[in-house]
Amino acid sequence: MITRKEYQNSQKRNSIDDDFIKRDEPVEQPTLKRTRPEEKKGKAHAMTTEQKTKRLGRRLNWAIAFLILAIIVVYLILIYVNP
């Protein structure tokens, strides 16, 4: 039978051993990839202002619908739970 203190000491030793193993492993060097300004500009301006406006309008419509639904749910809860 192993005591709690012996078990904790063995766990500490194992974690220390794991730390040493991790420290000795080779580290991957981050690659520095440069993007061209043309690529950034192409990605950022892929949508026209009209498309952005339509997308924003759709998102706002969904947000308004969600808020109205949430208000209705709260009122129903208040009516039926608190007589």
For the chain, domain boundaries: 48-82
Strands (E), 1-83: none
Per DSSP, the three-state class of 36 is coil
Per DSSP, the three-state class of 22 is helix
Record the tokens describing residue 71, joined without a space: 């208000």
**What pLDDT digit, counting tens, does each position of 42-78 carry?**
555 578 999 999 999 999 999 999 999 999 999 999 9
| Residue showing tokens 């007589």 | 83
Residue 83 has pLDDT above 70, yes or no: no
Record the tokens describing residue 54, joined without a space: 């339509």
